Structure 1
Amino acid sequence: MKAALRALVLAFAVCFLLPVAGATLWWVAQDRPDGWRTADWGPSGVLPAASATPEAAIHVLAARTGGLKGAASVHSWLVWKAAGAGDWTRADVVGWGRPVRLDAYAADGRWYSNDPFVVGSVTGARAADLIPRLRAAIDAYPWNGEGSYVIWPGPNSNSFLAHVLREVPQIGVALPPNAVGKDWLGPGLGAVRDAGGDIHLSAWGLAGFSLGPRTGVEVNLLGQTFGLDLVHPALKLPAVGRVGS
C-alpha cells in the first residue's frame, strides 16, 4: 500500500508539479505589463486580412493570459468568416457582464501583450458547412448569464471554447493542455460523449479524464492536463503546453 502511494506521489510530482514549477520560473523572468491598462491588445498579424482570404475559415486561437496566472494558463477564442466576407468575427468569454462577447477585440489581438497562436483551423467548404453550427453552439452556450463567469475551475473563457468544440467536434480541434477551465463540464460530476467519439469525465472541473481521437488521452487535475495526443503525436504538459507536432 505504501509503495503504491509513493508511486502516485512521484507520478503527481513528475507529471504535474515539475512542469508547473518550470513554467512559473520561466514566466516570472518575462517582461510583462503591469496590468490590463498598460497591456497591448492590438492586432498581432497572426491572421491575414479577411479580404485577403476569399474562402470560408474557422480558427481557434490562444494566448498566454495576464499576471501570474499566465504562467499556467492561456486564454482561447474563436475567429471565423464566411466565403467572401470582408471581416473576421471573433467570439470569446470575459469575466464581467454577460460573458460571451462578439468582436470585443481584434480578431488576432494580443492578450495582455502576449501574441496569440493558432491552435487549429478549418477552411474552405468544410468551414462553410460548420459555421452555422458554430454560431448555434455559441448562441446556446448555457453559462452566459451575468455573474456566470468563474475564473477557476470554471466556467471561464476556456470552458466556453471547450463546450463549443464538443458541440461541433467536426472542427477537429482540442484546446491546449494549459487552457485552464476546458475540463469543466458543469457543477458536480459530469460525463459527456461528443459526436466525434471523445469521452469526457469531470468532477467539478477539479479532476477528470478524456479519451478519444480529438483529445487523445488526458488526465485532468486542478485545471491542468497531462496526456498524449495519439493522432498528431505530442506530449501534453501542465502549464507548458504541447510538446511535439
Structure 2
Amino acid sequence: MHILVINPNSTAAMTKSIGEAAQQTVREGTRITAVNPTDTPPAIQGPEDGAAALPGLFRLFDKLVLEEGGYDACVIACFDDTGLGELKARSQIPVIGVGEAGFHAAMLIGDRFSVVTTLSVSIPVIEGNIEAYGFSSRCHKVRASEVPVLDLETNPESACERIAAEIERAIADENPGAIVLGCAGMVDLSRSLTARFGRPVLDGVSSAVALCEALFSITDDRNAA
C-alpha cells in the first residue's frame, strides 16, 4: 500500500524525519511518501498557527489526493489534527490524524493515558480534540514540556531530556497506563523513552501508519471476498 503523510507545517527537515521514521515502522510492501506545504507556518503551536496552516494544507491535499490520486490512505502529521474533520469529509480514502491515532493506541494498551506535548499554548487544542472524540474520561492530563516544536530538530538532546522530565512527572502524579507524545516531531523518541521508563510511550505517527495498514488489510480482505 501507499500512504501519504502530510506534515501541515512548512519545515522540510521535520517532514523528512517523520517520513523516514514512518517508513521504518511499516510492513514490507508499504511505501511512505512524506510531504509538506511551503506556504504554512514553520511550526504549528496553538490555534492561530493551526488556522494559518489550513489553506496551504487543503491545497496540497486536494492536489495530491483528489486530483492526482494513487494513495491508499493519508496521515495528517500534526498532533493538533489540523484540518482533520474537513479532510475526512472530502476524501474517499482513510485520513487519520496522529493525535487521534495516538489516543486510540493508548486506550488499547492501558486504561488511561497522559499526553506530553510541546508548549502550553497547544494544550487547549489537544484537550478540545480529546473531548470532541469522546476520550476525556480516558485521559489523565495533557502536559506541556515547554519545548518549542523546532527545538526537536535543532536541539534534539536537550529537547528529549525536557520531555523525559515531564514524562517522569506524569508517571509520579498520574501513573498512566501509557504516555502519548504530543507532537509529530517527537516520532524518533518513543522507543528510547519506552525503554527508559518501562511503560509504553507512544508516538502518533507510528500509530497512524499502523492504523492505515490495518484498515487497508480489512478492506482489501473484504474486497477479495
- Does the pair score TM above 0.5? no
Higher relative contact order (CA 8 A, sep 6+): 2
Structure with more of its chain in helix, by fraction: 2
TM-score by length of 1: 0.29
Give the structure with higher Rg (CA): 1
Structure with more of its chain in strand, by fraction: 1
